[in-house]
Structure formats: structure tokens, C-alpha cells
Amino acid sequence: MNQPRIVVIGAGCSGITSIKNLLQAGLTNIICFDQNDRVGGNWIYSEEPSHSSVCETTHIISSKSLSQFLDFPLPESYPDYPSHDQVRAYFQSYAEHFGLLPYIRFNTPVQNIEPIPADRWRIHLADHNTEEADYLLVANGHHHVPRHPEWKDDFTGTYLHAHSYKNNKPFRDQRVLVVGAGNSGCDCAVEISRVAAFVGISIRTPQYIVPKFFLGKPTDAFNRGLQWVPEFLIRPLRKLSLRFQIGRYEDYGLESPKHDVIEAHPTVNSELLYKIRHGKVHPRRGIARIEGQTVHFMDGRQEAYDTIVAATGYQIATPFFDPGFLDYREADRIPLYLRMFHPVHPSLIFIGLVQPQGAIWPLSDRQAKLAANYIAGRWKRPADLAERAEREADRIARDFLAQKRHVVEVHFDRFARQVEQEIPKSAPEWNPTVITTSGQHA
């Protein structure tokens, strides 16, 4: 029996689990294209400018027990919050363990993908070759195209986006302003403060800064034990537990957030508040305007800086699609069913186009398992899939603050259960005997 040709875009965490789950479902006519020379995607650290947004000191912000793939635990020797090197090594081990490498064509950027008749796809590669596919799994990630602020060109000092930040060496003895208090912004501010003369952090929307540990446990593992507590009780408990941990935000010169803790993507950092209280990082309000190297803040303060690091997020980019066909870069809502199934094109599936309050990898694993069993014929798209996709987008708009970074935000446990409920009971488990030493199905 002829199997459908399946193309996977990207060999990061979502791409490799896509290949593994396709193989697990009995599908072997697979090719994955990746621009890098190894697996890892965003977790391939380089001091040179690249697709990757990790820096020299990056560690994950979700604990290892809640970050691993479903049937491939992170090593027991790893710390609670592994480094980027350890994460990359874990992905390599995963790919080798499940025999995925023969299905990946490295150093092969995808330049353009066009729909062709019968809901198939033609993939144009940078090496001038083409490939055609019956199913297209897009797993290219969404942390590689920076979103720049409007005032970018008004600043006459050195400007860079946090995507280009690699280490703190260039900032020694400088006056540096970090803009944004998400996870990247806080990490940049903390690391730069070790060598800079002065570090400010500009925060437009007040954030909850969540320490990585609570009562000796990783905070997400502690919260996991509370997931069955009714929502009307857990909401005040979240704020109360943070109050016990850190006190009042005003004591740090920060504004207290007005929204609920889980209405925004969490900022998980145990060092920022410490650095603020030690006078190494100085909170500042949002930026009103910039004149030359002088930054005017919303509260009337003005200060001169040598460098600005903009931790202002990322666009959801699919540069290989014609914008007239699909373009999510400035979208306020993305109606995909289970954050993966396109309402119009049954053969187009996104894996990992989700921003959980937790780790992406186990959610991508679940999505890939469902996608593989769909392609294998064990699951059928609901007749009202388009309506379900719109309802999902509506729910995201209700549950989270209206910001670009939240258009694919989900609550981890709720979303994991939602995908799991769709995975058919007939879905096969991994059978190691079907893989030969060459990595191909026997």
C-alpha cells in the first residue's frame, strides 16, 4: 500500500517529536527539512547571529519533570532547570534513541511552499530542489523573528533586540536599558547588571515575577498539586502565595499587576527582584518617547543610555508561505483547532504553534501523536472544525490579556487534556522492533 508523503518543517522540539509520532503510527514516507546542521532548533546556541534566541546563560523556566517528552524522561542527573546545552543534548538523545536522524535533511532551508491541486504541497528548497507532499507539518517555532518597537529608529545609541543578545560581554561599563519584563527581558537585565555601570528595566504593563522555587519545590511542580482546587479558590491563593514569597511589588519600585496571575504569560525569575533590592537593576515605567540617546519615560523621568535591549517579543512567522495565502505576523487571533488543524486545508497541520503556561515539548508531543493518527486514518476531522477553531480563538481572547504575545497562549493542563481526549484509543504505542539500525522501518 502506498503511504502518503509527509513533509515536516523544522527539526526542533516540535519537529523531532512529529517524526517520532509519525513512525509510531506506522507512517514512514517522511522527510524533515531543517536549516541547521543538527537537531535542536531554537536551542542551538551560537555566539554568532542565528535563528536561535537562547543566550549563553539560558536555562528553561519550566521544571524538568514537567518539560520532558511523554515517553523519554530527561536524565535524572539534570538539575531542576536544565541549561540550553543540556536541553540540546536531550533532543539529540531523543532523535538517536528513536532513529529519527535518517529522516532529517539538515542544512536545507525551505524557501517557499505553495499549495497545489488535491490539497497537496510543493516545497521549494534553498538548494533549488523541490519536494511534493500529501501532508505538511509545520514545526518551525515562533521565537525567531523579532518584534521591534515603533521607536527603534529614534534611538541613536546602540540598539538590539533580545533575540540578538548572546552574553553580557559587550555591555561592560555601559548604561543599558532593557525594555520588557518577560522572561527574556528579566534574564537580560540580570545578566547585564553583572558588568554594566547602570541597568534600567522599562516595564509598560506590570508583570507578576514568579520565583522558580516555592517551599523547596519548583514552582510549577508545586502548582501542579493544586490543579484540582476549584478556580474560585485557586485565584486568590496564587496571589497570596506570591505575596508570602516576595512581599509587595511596590517595595521593589514596581507597579502591582491588576490582572490575575494566569491571565498573562508567566515571568519566571528568581534573580530580578534580588538585583533590584541590591541596586543593580532599576525599574522604570514605559517609554513615552526617545530623543537621541535620551529616553523619556511615562512618569516624566528622563535618562541617557548607551544601549537599549528590546525584549519586545516575536512575530509568528511562516516566511515560506506567500503572505496572501497565510500570514500570522500581525494577527490578533489565530483560529486553528487544537492550535494545529487549519480550518480550510485538511493536509496542513501546525505542531508547537502554542504558547503554554508551561513547556511546549510535551504539548507538541501530544499534538504530533494526534496528527500522526489522523494521517493514518484513526481520527477524523470534526465536521464543525472551523467553528471549533473560532471558539478556541474566542476563549484565548477571554482568558488572556489582549496582547500579541497571547494569540496562541494556553493553560497547560487544560490544553493537554483537550488534545489527549482526541487521541484515539487505537493509537499504537512505540514498538522498537520496527526500526532497523539504519533508522528506516523494517
Q: At 437, is the pLDDT very low, low, confident or very high (cuts 50, 70, 90)?
A: very low
pLDDT value of residue 225: 72
SS (H, E, C) the chain: CCCCCEEEECCCHHHHHHHHHHHHCCCCCEEEECCCCCCCHHHCCCCCCCCCCCCCCCECCCCHHHCCECCECCCCCCCCCCEHHHHHHHHHHHHHHCCCHHHEECCCCEEEEEEECCCEEEEEECCCCEEEECEEEECCCCCCCECCCCCHHHECCEEEEHHHCCCCHHHCCCEEEEECCCHHHHHHHHHHCCCCCEEEEECCCCCCEECCEECCEEHHHHHHCCCCCCHHHHHHHHHHHHHHHHCCHHHHCCCCCCCCHHHCCCEECCCHHHHHHCCCCEEECCEEEEEECEEEECCCCEEECCEEEECCCECCCCCCECCCCCCCCCCCCCCCECCCECCCCCCEEECCCCEECCCCHHHHHHHHHHHHHHHCCCCCCCCCHHHHHHHHHHHHHHHCCCCHHHCCEECHHHHHHHHHHHCCCCCCCCCHHHECCCCCEC
Q: How many other C-beta atoms can be found within 10 angstroms of the C-beta atom of residue 429?
A: 6
The CATH architecture that domain 6-145+314-434 belongs to is 3-Layer(bba) Sandwich (3.50)
What is the gyration radius of the CA atoms in the chain, in angstroms? Answer: 22
Give per-residue pLDDT as tens, 38-90.
Answer: 999 999 999 888 889 999 999 999 999 999 999 999 999 999 999 999 999 99
**Is 305 or 51 the better-scoring residue by pLDDT?**
305
Q: By the 8 A CB rule, do 351 and 371 touch?
A: yes
Q: Does the structure show a pLDDT above 90 at 435?
A: no
- Residue-wise pLDDT for 147-182, tens only, equals 999 999 999 999 999 999 999 999 999 999 999 999
Q: What percent of the chain has a predicted confidence (pLDDT) above 70? A: 98
Across 355-367, average pLDDT: 94
- Assign 266 a pLDDT band (cuts: 50, 70, 90): confident
Of 275-279, 329-333, 400-404, 436-440, the range with the highest mean pLDDT is 275-279
pLDDT tens digits for range 378-399: 999 999 999 999 999 999 999 9
Query: Is the predicted pLDDT of residue 106 greater than 80, yes or no?
Result: yes
The pLDDT, as a whole number, for residue 441 is: 36
Residue 436 pLDDT more than 50?
no
Distance CA 276, CA 269 (A): 12
Chain segment 29-51, per-residue pLDDT in tens? 999 999 999 999 999 999 888 88
Lowest average pLDDT, out of 165-169, 232-236, 410-414, goes to 232-236
> pLDDT tens for residues 121-137?
999 999 999 999 999 99
* Confidence (pLDDT) at 236: 81
**Signed CA dihedral, 12, 264, 67, 80: sign only:** positive
Tell me, which fold does domain 152-310 have in CATH? FAD/NAD(P)-binding domain (3.50.50)
Q: At 56, which amino acid appears?
A: E
Q: Where in the chain is the domain with CATH 3.50.50.60?
A: 6-145+314-434, 152-310
